[in-house]
Amino acid sequence: MKIAVLIKQVPGSDSAFRASENELWIEEMQIQYEMNESDAYALEEALLIKEAQGSGEVVVVCMGPSARVSKVLREALAKGADRAIHIVEEDPLETDPYQIANILSESIKSESFDLILSGLQSVDLGMGQTGVLLGTMLGMPTATLVIATEISGDKIKVKRELESGWFQWVGLPLPACLSIQSGINTPRYPSLKGIMGAKKKEIKTINKGDVQLRDSLQMVNRIYSMQRDKKTEFIEGEPDSQVSRLMDILRSEVKVLGA
């Protein structure tokens, strides 16, 4: 079974994010880059499926700058992926998910994957669509918020997370494209053997320019801090008046009353 895993290298979610000078990206100094969290779960799921099947190939696909992407590719290979495809993209980075999915589609369509897994959404842009877009472009059925998979023959059953603690099993024919939710499994750590073995595994590079066939459909114009200078509002007085103020806050300012 040939499985592709889409991974993205993103700034660590605990980083102190600051908009860059030109307001088109973030200040990259002092940012530790890592594999996007839900992508790590997707990779682990792919490895588990391959191990359960007893045979097959797991290929990781990643788009990003050459200076830093090799790290997450090596990490994925060290964990057990068989080879990697690196689409080289330098600054400025693409932000349109449609464009990204198109580039990915052009890069991998010749491989005829049986299953494509991606993380649900990335910590940086959080558009949450690349997997479904890619699957559709390749003519595959798609499903998101997957928290369990079950393969039988040429079909796959997935457990989808619905709102409010509800779940649903959905069956799809293969080939299919799934967006994986964090928590589906327990991602492994690369063993020493894996780390050493990764050095010999293939990383194929593709230039973004060679596979980018069209213009982007949407773009991020500006990135800025959500202007909320932390001014602590002290609410004192009688409990009744405090509660009244709190209700206002919950309703109109924080806006959590409603769902």
Partner 1 sequence: MHFSIIEQVALLVFIALSLGSFLYELWKRIFIVFKGTGSFPFDRLWERWFRFFREVILQEKVIRERFLPGLMHALVFWGFMAFGVITLDHFARGFNGKILGETAYSVYSWVAIPFSILVIIGIVYLAFRRFVLRPKVLGKISITSGIVAIFIALLMGTYLLTELDLPHQIEKVNWWGHTFFILAFLFLIPRSKHLHLVLAPINIFFRPFTIPSHDAVEIDMDASEEELDSMLTGLTKMSRNQALDIFSCVECGRCTDVCPANRGGGILDPKHHFILDLKEPMLSTSDVDVLGQINVEAGWECTACQSCTDICPVGNHVEKSDEIRRHQVLLEGQVPQEYQKVFRNLQESGNTEGAFQSPLAEDLPVYTSDKEYALWLGCFARYGLDPDFEHSVRSFTKILEEAGVSYGVLSQEMCCGDPANRLGDKLTYQMLMDQNKEELQDVKKITSLCPHCVVNLDQEYRKYGEVPYKVEHHTQVISDIIESGKIRVEQGSNEKLTYHDPCNLSRSLNEVDAPRKVLNASSSGFFDMEESGRRTLCCGAGGGLWWKKESKGRTHLVRAQQVVDSGAETVATGCNFCFGMMKQGLGPLTPDNQKEIQVKDIADIVAENLVNN
Partner 2 sequence: MGILVILEQKENSIHRMSLEAVAGAQDMADKMNMEISALLMGADVSPYVEKAQGLELKEVIVAQHELLNEYSCDGFSEIVRQVIEKESPNYVVMAHTYMVRDFLPRVSALSGVPFVPDVVSFQVTDGKPVFTKQMFNSKLGSDIVVNGAQGGLISFQSAAYQAESVRKGDAPVRDIEISLTPDQIRSVSEAPFQESSGGVDLTSAEVLVSVGRGIGEESKIPMAKALADAIGAELAASRPVVDSGWLPPFRQIGSSGQNVSPKLYFSVGISGAIQHVVGMKGSQNIIAINKDPEAPIFEIADYAVVGDLHEIIPRLTEALQEQ
Task: Name, in order, each residue with C-beta under 8 angstroms of 181's C-beta and a sequence gap of 6 or more.
Answer: 38, 41, 120, 145, 146, 147, 161
- Nearest residue (CB) to partner 2, 189 versus 224: 224
Q: Which of 22, 30, 55, 227 touches partner 1 (CB under 8 A)?
A: 30
CA distance 87 to 105: 11
Supply 239's token pair: 């409990």
User: If binding is defined by CB under 8 A, does position 256 make contact with partner 2?
Assistant: yes
User: If binding is defined by CB under 8 A, does position 172 make contact with partner 2?
Assistant: yes
CA distance 53 to 1: 8
User: If binding is defined by CB under 8 A, does position 240 make contact with partner 2?
Assistant: yes
Q: Which of 5, 6, 34, 117 touches partner 1 (CB under 8 A)?
A: 34
List, in sequence order, every residue forming a beta bridge with 180; answer none if it has no partner.
119, 146
User: If binding is defined by CB under 8 A, does position 97 make contact with partner 2?
Assistant: yes
Q: How far is the CB of 96 from partner 2 (least distance, A)?
A: 7
- Nearest residue (CB) to partner 2, 14 versus 54: 14
User: If binding is defined by CB under 8 A, does position 66 make contact with partner 2?
Assistant: no
User: If binding is defined by CB under 8 A, does position 205 make contact with partner 1?
Assistant: no
CA distance 151 to 155: 6
Q: Which of 22, 162, 192, 209 touches partner 2 (CB under 8 A)?
A: 162
User: If binding is defined by CB under 8 A, does position 83 make contact with partner 1?
Assistant: no
User: If binding is defined by CB under 8 A, does position 106 make contact with partner 2?
Assistant: no
Partner in contact with 188, chosen from partner 2, partner 1, none, beta carbon below 5 to 8 Å by kind: partner 1
Q: Which of 24, 127, 147, 195 touches partner 1 (CB under 8 A)?
A: 195
Supply 9's token pair: 């290298």
Indicate the length of the chain as a whole number.
259
Residues 136-155 that bind partner 2 (CB under 8 A): 136-137, 141-145
DSSP state of 71: H
| Degrees to nearest 5, angle at CA 248 with 242 and 253 | 120
Dihedral sign for Cα atoms in the order 2, 59, 184, 121:
negative
